[in-house]
Structure 1
């Protein structure tokens, strides 16, 4: 299972399998071959792309997820692997037991604290004002976030992260910043959901998110403390038109190194460790979630615009 490769295809192409490899065929170009095990997320970003059922099967067997976008560059469908874990029933029972326990509120408390802490760290790394308020809020979070610190923090954070005229829009956004954020979040969400499924967890049973119509509540929980990676990448990057070049550039957020429990992890490995810590809680082998609490380990020298 790959730890880091995101494959974006946004031109007419035909995808099939040749000798166990994913073959990408485009008119006027030589065929490209990619081992399925090297792919974490395959993003299909053109309406004429053709992919065989065999290719989908091979990708699923390798643990890759497939993300399909619509004409507005928004995700409209996922394919998540269902292999790799034979403990689905036991995990489901554990999640259902957790749903009515006191521990559930404490776990959500930890996630909200991590989200607020990483927001504050982003503001400091980016030389923005407002970090102290978020750091104080992180200390005030109660189990199940009864005082709604997450919502207070979000309102404060977005007021300082970008220009004062910026307004956060989750759906249907046409501006460059929101388009970048939403696209990056979608890929990050797919990575989190993939890690949950591969661990045998049901992504619909969330800790803080509980929308009855959302099949990925748990993914939306665990994406929270990792959103800062996308946000920092967007804040540091170019802000022009959200075209094909920009979509490829935004995917570089996956290369970042995360500080987790005092050690450095590549982003996918950090997500896997956070999910593994949740499994340990379910098994009674741990009490705490391993979550990022501060900014990226260091400023990435690969950013020419910093």
Structure 2
């Protein structure tokens, strides 16, 4: 089973060598089996990727993420039509009813809110704030028509970062979360495409200019887990997100999980 995210900073050439990706960087060559890889993240402006490698990445359901000059993921290359009943699944997706979407969204944001409460608890948030968040979660309705998720998120971020904090602030912690969420989004988009679903057709998100509405829906419960990982592992020593910090954030996707 694929598990590895390969991060390439200022590489020279990426090409296919048998069933491996061959990475040229300066005078070195590194080989990674394609069967191990879930995603490749590229930084820098000099890297060349061969079309033969791109073709094999699609066949192996490997996502390719491109970062901009600020190291934030801005593009993703996904496999096309690899699922065996792709058309059938897309037709079913397009026919999801309003009731089905409302029920699914309740499950999604319900899990997100549960994870926010647990993350806040592990980060030492006081009990009175946890109780307020639990009360908000208890009132969740189909489709979250009363926006309990938004109200709980406000309490959640205020409790961890202070009441003056907003997600629009130009601060280190937001840079870290933005990078982490972008990696989460890319990984979720890869899973959606591999499942034969269309990334544009969402459950709650429905922005006509967004090509990843469904990925944005499905990644919601994982945001608080990323928040916790960042708070526990990324120190605010710099006023910018260092290369080492970006690697540590990517490590979140490679953690072992205990199931049952």
- Please indicate the TM-score interval, normalised by the length of the shorter structure: over 0.9
Matched, 1:240 2:237: yes
Give the alignment's TM-score, normalised by structure 1. Answer: 0.79
Q: Deviations over 1:93-122 (max 9, x none)?
A: 211221x34121111011111111100000
Question: Which residue of the partner structure matches residue 18 of structure 2?
Answer: 19
Contact 1:37–1:64 (8 Å) recurs in 2: no
Question: Which residue of the partner structure matches residue 72 of structure 2?
Answer: 74
Question: Which residue of the partner structure matches residue 202 of structure 1?
Answer: 198
Matched, 1:223 2:219: yes
Question: Which residue of the partner structure matches residue 88 of structure 2?
Answer: 90
Structure 1 residue 164 displacement after superposition: 4.8
Structure 1 residue 175 displacement after superposition: 2.6
Cα RMSD after superposing both structures? 1.7
The whole-number CA distance in structure 1 between the counterparts of 2:161 and 2:35 is 38
Structure 1 residue 168 displacement after superposition: 1.3
The whole-number CA distance in structure 2 between the counterparts of 1:45 and 1:250 is 15
The whole-number CA distance in structure 2 between the counterparts of 1:158 and 1:105 is 25
Matched, 1:148 2:147: yes
- Partner SS, residue 247 of structure 2: helix
2:111 to 100, 109, 114: 114
Contact 1:120–1:132 (8 Å) recurs in 2: no
The whole-number CA distance in structure 2 between the counterparts of 1:163 and 1:255 is 30
Question: Which residue of the partner structure matches residue 187 of structure 2?
Answer: 191
Structure 1 residue 179 displacement after superposition: 1.2
Question: Which residue of the partner structure matches residue 55 of structure 2?
Answer: 57
Give the alignment's TM-score, normalised by structure 2. Answer: 0.92
Structure 1 residue 165 displacement after superposition: 4.7
Gaps of 5+ in 2: none
Matched, 1:249 2:219: no
- Partner SS, residue 17 of structure 1: strand
- Partner SS, residue 189 of structure 2: helix
Matched, 1:102 2:99: yes
